[in-house]
Amino acid sequence: MDRLQAEARAHGEFIAVRDQAVRRGILSVGVVLTLTLLAASVCALGARYFWLFDLAIHFRVQYAAMGLVGFVLLLVARAPAWALLALGVAAWNAMYAAPALVTHHPSLPRVAGEAATGDPVRLRVAALNVLYTNNDYARVADFVQREKPDAVAMLEMTAKWRQAMAGLDKMYPHRYQTMGVGGRGITFWTRLPMKDVSVLPIGVRQEPAIQATLEVQGREVRIFAVHLTWPLAPASAGRRNQQMELLAERARAVTLPLVVMGDMNITPFSPHFQQLLTDGRLRSAAEGFGWQASWPSFFPLAGIQIDHTLVNSRVVVEHFTRGAATGSDHLPIVADLVL
């Protein structure tokens, strides 16, 4: 009997030691996760002033979700004080992320002149960074044929991509393309009459932006197709911000209905993006349609929205969505607009 009792005590002690070790491990993971999220969230406060902090601000949705994970881990580890900190970090980031997550029909101003001109005029536009190393040409062509936009901009177009997409000329008789440093550029197709088309001078050398005026059932709309610089170093981040300043200046000068679309390499959480909207008198077409993460398509959990359609006050947004994957690291974006 004594031996059995001793074995039972030893087993109980083993279980207790094991459980304690597991709790310590969970506590360590929860604490490290919470402190990392807290540091990233604090760094994001300086996004306007330092390029690395601006990168940190783009993941507000992920910080909120991972904060909740940390909260649960720390509750399991029986560390209520740490759990409250994790919950606070989650709530802090959720507060910033909420406007981008909410789905509702946006309350937008009436299009100027709509009452006088009768029926509204609809326009569907699409944009896609095809990824120059991607060879899945058929999926991109299928996307265009399925969505049937009136105008589509493709970014990172190389000579091979332009040759592969030549069949779109049958659907879209009007085309303009640019080529910059490295042999890549933007190609803009439309089924609508196009005029005043040229390079948009906003300082993009690698893939020069495009500006054009389309005629839609007797009305004109100005289109900007852009691919801003990837901000993974101080110099390139500075160039992107300068490009957005020039883009805002150009947008503010447009008196027609205006649509700006493309890969802007920035999320709505960045103060630089918000400054673009303010200075350019623009708003995001994605507003009110939920979180529209467009990159990276191969890792949705880390998804952020860096592909955008922006419009001025003379355009109403009926719908905004992402298209299906096309083999690129970006998802296409499609916007249904009313002029």
Please report, rounded to a whole number, the percentage of residues in the chain having pLDDT higher than 90: 85
CATH superfamily of 114-338: Endonuclease/exonuclease/phosphatase (3.60.10.10)
- The answer on pLDDT for 2 being more than 90 is no
Output the pTM of the full model: 0.90
* Of 66 and 105, the one with more pLDDT: 66
Q: Per-domain residue ranges for the chain?
A: 2-98, 114-338
Q: pLDDT tens digits for 131-166?
A: 999 999 999 999 999 999 999 999 999 999 999 999
What's the per-residue H, E or C state across the chain? CHHHHHHHHHHHHHHHHHHHHHHHHHHHHHHHHHHHHHHHHHHHCCCCCCHHHHHHHHHHHHHHHHHHHHHHHHHHCCCHHHHHHHHHHHHHHHHHHHHHHCECCCCCCCCCCHHHHCCCCEEEEEEEECCCCCCCHHHHHHHHHHHCCCEEEEEEECHHHHHHCHHHHHCCCEEEECCCHHHCEEEEEECCCEEEEEEECCCCCCCCEEEEEEEECCEEEEEEEEECCCCCCHHHHHHHHHHHHHHHHHHHCCCCCEEEEEECCCCCCCHHHHHHHHHHCCEECCCCECCCCCECCCCHHHCECCEEEEECCCCEEEEEEECCCCCCCCCCEEEEEEC
Q: pLDDT tens digits for 199-212?
A: 999 999 999 999 99
